[in-house]
Amino acid sequence: MKNSKQNSNEGSVNSILPYLIVFALCLLLFVIYIYDTYPEDVFLGAVYFMVASIKVVALEAPGIDFPFTIPFFIGLIVYASMITPIVRNMYDGSPALISLFQLCFLMLVTSVIGLHFLNAWADNQLLTKTNAVLITIITYVLLRLCISYWYYKYPISSVITTKESSSLQVIPVAAGLVSRSVLPNESKHKQLVLLGLILTFFLGIYSYINTPSSLDHDKIMKEQISREPAAGTKLFNKEERNGIQTRDFNISGLTRGVSTRMLIWDFNSEDHDIVQILVDGKIIQDSFVLTNTPVAFTVPVPGVITIKGTQDQGGGLTYAVKFPQTRFTCFNIVAVNGVNTYTLLPKL
């Protein structure tokens, strides 16, 4: 009898083992993708995005563009761990892990939502700065209140009551059966993760619908001005001119008497070219090193912005400037000691 039970359990583990291997490989590929695509600090989760959000507000430039598909995948891992018997057993001895994983997942979702609101202001000025900050703070507070209420109403611990101890689930697992106790309010905590998954899924769909289609690089280089690119857009992975010509631009539709933001970055391979930035003939940045990360400057309206080439590291001194109030991005090239001007014109 004992050998039969042992063989049954071994058969159960062996039948699940291929799925666990596939799951582990998918998780490994996911981690490698995150590592190669985003800064290493992103593994700090919600903490990283909170810091990134603060930087967006302080520097007035958009931060990292993080898709909702990644927190959705993380939520799937958490939910799968709660419904897969061989993995779920770890929660019996340490039910606090449920709270920890839920909190990490939900705080990550909230942090990404907050960063999207702040980027909507910093990149395209879809919101005012005040509204973006308020919405982000309210989102954090509401989530924390909801989680506190949920754990107050549906506490979870390893202490099993007499009534609960009589409730055992017998779970079929391939070649055998596994019996386990039910943690208090376990189903409610599965529902909490599921609600987070549903929210993330619809946010991902909304974000995908509102994401512009792939940019036509040749068209952008020909026209050199577009409302499609996001701040920090990198068009080429190596230094290319691609027919771009030095140009001066008139930027209209700005609010008179109110300063506006100008974002500037290197849209080519990052080679640390240096420019000088002037406003109405006065230097506001003597030696500005261009990188792929957009940097914000506050400039007056009306006014004339001058970008003067100082040092070219090779391949041409290319850069892009964006005015979030109009959403226009200008792609340009300047020679060493040459200048480009941007004339800011108020609304009529």
pLDDT (tens digit, 9 = 90+) per residue, 142-195?
A: 988 988 888 888 887 644 444 444 444 444 444 444 445 556 777 888 889 999
3 state DSSP class of 236: coil
- Going by pLDDT thresholds of 50, 70 and 90, the confidence category of residue 242 is confident
Q: In what helix (H) or strand (E) does residue 107 lie, and over which residues does it extend?
A: helix 96-124
- Going by pLDDT thresholds of 50, 70 and 90, the confidence category of residue 291 is very high
Q: Please tell me what DSSP assigns to residue 166.
A: T
pLDDT at 182: 59
- Contacts of residue 55, Cβ cutoff 8 Å, sequence gap at least 6: 63
> CA–CA separation, 84 vs 182, rounded Å?
14
- Going by pLDDT thresholds of 50, 70 and 90, the confidence category of residue 2 is very low
**Which own/partner contact pairs does 88-95 have at CB distance under 8 Å and 24+ positions apart?**
88/180, 89/180, 91/183, 91/186, 92/158, 92/180, 92/181, 92/183, 93/158, 94/158, 95/156, 95/157, 95/158, 95/183
46, 47, 48, 43: which is closest to 31 by C-alpha?
Answer: 43
Pair 289, 272: CB distance under 8 Å: yes
Pair 86, 174: CB distance under 8 Å: no
Domain ranges of the chain: 2-209, 217-346
Q: Which two tokens stand for residue 182?
A: 């039910």
Residue that wins the pLDDT comparison between 246 and 269: 246
User: DSSP letters along 289-340, please?
Assistant: EP-SS-EEEEE-SSEEEEEEEEE--SS-EEEEEEETTTTEEEEEEE-BT-EE
- Going by pLDDT thresholds of 50, 70 and 90, the confidence category of residue 312 is confident
Pair 143, 106: CB distance under 8 Å: yes
- Going by pLDDT thresholds of 50, 70 and 90, the confidence category of residue 343 is very high
Cα-Cα-Cα-Cα dihedral sign, residues 81, 85, 90, 92: positive
94, 108, 80, 106: which is closest to 23 by C-alpha?
Answer: 80
pLDDT (tens digit, 9 = 90+) per residue, 20-44?
A: 676 677 677 767 777 776 776 677 7
185, 163, 35: which is closest to 99 by C-alpha?
Answer: 185
3 state DSSP class of 155: coil
pLDDT at 288: 94
Mean pLDDT lowest for which of 36-45, 85-94, 161-170, 277-286? 161-170
pLDDT (tens digit, 9 = 90+) per residue, 103-124?
A: 889 998 999 999 999 999 999 8
Residue 59 phi, psi dihedral angles, 5° rounding: -90, -15
Q: Would you call 141 exposed, middle or buried from its count of C-beta atoms within 10 A (0-12, 13-18, 19+)? A: exposed
